[in-house]
């Protein structure tokens, strides 16, 4: 694997070419780092599953450069989905839509639906644009972690997760620490009433405002299968204890105003909910790097981003 620090337009062009040649390129987004691949190349896409150790048949999000590319991958896009895209793209939102012929089974997991997202990180956007300029149509990218593990939010975390699994012609692009820190909000727009399949930093309330109607966040009403919905996911090796008793030598993570219990090892003190989300995954990683057996986490209360954080934490804590 080749690591590219301080990405310039030239190095991003090189990465776009590597994608076109069938190699994998891990790249930064504003949510978490993605492991990118040419979404129309079935051989390369199959390597994603090997490198991640992910069971096949899980669908991948296709990353595109703008709303104008939506029609390539999706058909019968409802007006409310276009409104959402106009409001929140580029940004941390994935729309699930009826697929076009371009979205093959190896991308959609055999479903008639495709997930699309326009990320806002400048390196990600430039990579997608450069890839489209040389004839690419979209970059499929799951989070750049091994299956079930914690998503990477820094270059070091990507290398730690996938370094030994990538080949020497695959690339990893640096883009600093991911700004949001947790994965995109996924909204199923394939039905009359939208459903939030995975909460993220774009909240249910923000979605409802654009729709002008109540969106259902009860995912059990959706027929869509999505791996982020597995009960256990985003898990470090350390056992994650939520709002429970902290023992001496446990790692500890909570908002800054909460005191560290006696003997516990403080791993972070975010002052805001945004900072909590941004630091969450690196804190879970830190617990493993320190070889801690347990990490005790006090969950944030409230709506919006706090809902997404509690969703990830409940999965990190499930065994
Ligand atoms: O923020 C994100 O969304 C990051 C960055 C890299 O864009 N990507 C990400 O990808 O989290 P991944 O593969 O780790 O999680 C994507 C989720 C999976 O649970 C997958 O099942 C679901 O999106 N998904 C993708 N395409 C889908 C489809 N056609 N139908 C249903 N679910 C889909
Ligand atoms: Mg993932």
Question: CB under 8 Å to 102, separation ≥6 — which residues?
Answer: 40, 72, 73, 137
Measured from the CB, is residue 147 less than 6 Å from ligand 1? Answer: no
Q: What is the pLDDT of residue 102?
A: 98
pLDDT, one tens digit per residue, over 21-67 is 999 999 999 999 999 999 999 999 999 999 999 988 899 999 999 99
Q: Which residue has the higher pLDDT, 218 or 307?
A: 307
For the residues 108-128, what does the mean pLDDT come to?
A: 97
* CA-based nearest residue to 286, from 241, 253, 319: 253
Q: Which of 27, 81, 149, 226 to mutate to test the pocket of ligand 1 (most atoms within 8 A of CB)?
A: 226
Indicate if the pLDDT at residue 272 is higher than 60.
yes
Q: Please return the burial class of 160, using the count of CB atoms within 10 Å of its CB with bins 0-12, 13-18 and 19+.
A: middle
Q: What is the pLDDT of residue 225?
A: 63
Measured from the CB, is residue 282 less than 6 Å from ligand 1? Answer: no
For the residues 295-319, what does the mean pLDDT come to?
A: 95
240 CA → ligand 1 middle, Å: 24
Q: Counting ligands in written order, which one lies closest to the CA of residue 185?
A: 1
For the residues 77-99, what does the mean pLDDT come to?
A: 96
Measured from the CB, is residue 175 less than 6 Å from ligand 1? Answer: no
150 CA → ligand 1 middle, Å: 14
Q: What is the pLDDT of residue 222?
A: 62
Indicate if the pLDDT at residue 8 is higher than 70.
yes
For the residues 197-209, what does the mean pLDDT come to?
A: 93
Measured from the CB, is residue 62 less than 6 Å from ligand 1? Answer: no
Q: What is the pLDDT of residue 215?
A: 62
For the CA of 183, the closest atom of ligand 1 is: 1
Six-digit token pair at 55? 């069971």
Indicate if the pLDDT at residue 221 is higher than 90.
no
Cα–Cα dist 104/110, whole Å: 8
Six-digit token pair at 105? 């089974």
- For every residue of 89-140, DSSP letters joined together read -SSSEEEEEEB-TTS-HHHHTT-SEEEEE----HHHHHHHHHHHHTT---EE
pLDDT-derived band at 233, boundaries 50, 70, 90 = confident
Measured from the CB, is residue 36 less than 6 Å from ligand 1? Answer: no
Q: What is the pLDDT of residue 230?
A: 63
The average confidence (pLDDT) of the chain is 94
For the CA of 200, the closest atom of ligand 1 is: 1
Q: Which helix (H) or strand (E) holds 308?
A: helix 305-317
Give, in order, the Cα–Cα distances in Å from 246 to each of 258, 260, 292: 13, 9, 13
Q: What is the pLDDT of residue 192?
A: 81
Taking the whole predicted model, whether its pTM rises above 0.85 is answered as: yes
Indicate if the pLDDT at residue 220 is higher than 60.
no
Q: What is the pLDDT of residue 32?
A: 98
Cα–Cα dist 108/53, whole Å: 18
pLDDT-derived band at 285, boundaries 50, 70, 90 = very high
Measured from the CB, is residue 28 less than 6 Å from ligand 1? Answer: no
Cα 257 off chain centre by: 29
pLDDT, one tens digit per residue, over 138-184 is 999 999 999 999 999 999 999 999 999 999 999 999 999 999 999 99
For atom 3 of ligand 1, the residue with the nearest CA is 184
Adjacency order of strands within the sheet including 139-140? 2-4, 171-173, 25-27, 34-38, 139-140, 61-63, 113-117, 93-98, 185-188, 195-198
Measured from the CB, is residue 227 less than 6 Å from ligand 1? Answer: yes
Indicate if the pLDDT at residue 213 is higher than 70.
no
For atom 6 of ligand 1, the residue with the nearest CA is 34
pLDDT-derived band at 191, boundaries 50, 70, 90 = confident
Measured from the CB, is residue 226 less than 6 Å from ligand 1? Answer: yes
Query: Pairing relation of β-strands 171-173 and 2-4?
Result: parallel
Give, in order, the Cα–Cα distances in Å from 159 to each of 48, 171, 184, 191, 253: 15, 10, 22, 39, 24
Measured from the CB, is residue 236 less than 6 Å from ligand 1? Answer: no
Indicate if the pLDDT at residue 263 is higher than 80.
yes
Indicate if the pLDDT at residue 218 is higher than 60.
no
pLDDT-derived band at 199, boundaries 50, 70, 90 = very high
Measured from the CB, is residue 215 less than 6 Å from ligand 1? Answer: no
Exposure string over 217-252, b if 16+ CB within 10 A, otherwise e: bebeebebebbbbeeebbbbebbbbeeeebeeebbb
Lookup result for tokens 């290398």: 159
316 CA → ligand 2 middle, Å: 12
151 CA → ligand 2 middle, Å: 6
For the residues 287-307, what does the mean pLDDT come to?
A: 97
């Amino acid at each position: 694997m080749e690591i590219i620090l301080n990405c310039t337009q030239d190095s991003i062009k090189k990465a776009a070419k590597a994608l076109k040649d069938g190699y994998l390129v891990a790249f930064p987004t504003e949510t978490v780092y993605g492991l990118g691949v040419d979404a129309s190349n079935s051989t390369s896409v199959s390597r994603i599953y090997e490198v991640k150790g992910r069971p096949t048949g899980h669908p991948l999000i296709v990353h595109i450069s703008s709303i104008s590319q939506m029609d390539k991958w999706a058909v019968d896009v409802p007006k409310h989905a276009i409104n959402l895209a106009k409001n929140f793209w580029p940004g941390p939102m994935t729309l699930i839509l009826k697929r076009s012929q371009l979205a093959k089974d190896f991308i959609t997991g055999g479903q008639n639906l495709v997930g699309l997202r326009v990320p806002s990180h400048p390196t990600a956007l430039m990579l997608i644009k450069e890839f489209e300029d040389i004839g690419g149509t979209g970059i499929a990218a799951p989070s750049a972690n091994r299956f079930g593990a914690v998503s990477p939010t820094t270059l070091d975390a990507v290398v730690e997760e996938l370094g030994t699994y990538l080949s020497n012609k695959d690339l990893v692009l640096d883009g600093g620490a991911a700004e949001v820190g947790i994965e995109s909000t996924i909204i199923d727009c394939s039905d009359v009433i939208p459903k939030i399949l995975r909460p993220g930093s774009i909240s249910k309330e923000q979605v409802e405002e654009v729709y002008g109607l109540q969106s259902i966040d009860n995912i059990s009403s959706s027929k869509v299968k999505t791996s982020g919905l597995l009960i256990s996911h985003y898990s470090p090796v350390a056992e994650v204890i939520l709002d429970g008793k902290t023992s001496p030598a446990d790692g500890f993570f909570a908002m800054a105003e909460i005191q560290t219990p006696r003997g516990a090892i403080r791993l972070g003190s975010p002052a805001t909910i945004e900072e909590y989300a941004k630091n969450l995954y690196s804190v879970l990683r830190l617990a493993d790097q320190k070889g801690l057996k347990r990490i005790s986490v006090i969950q944030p209360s409230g709506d919006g981003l706090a809902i997404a954080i509690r969703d990830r934490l409940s999965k990190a804590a499930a065994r």
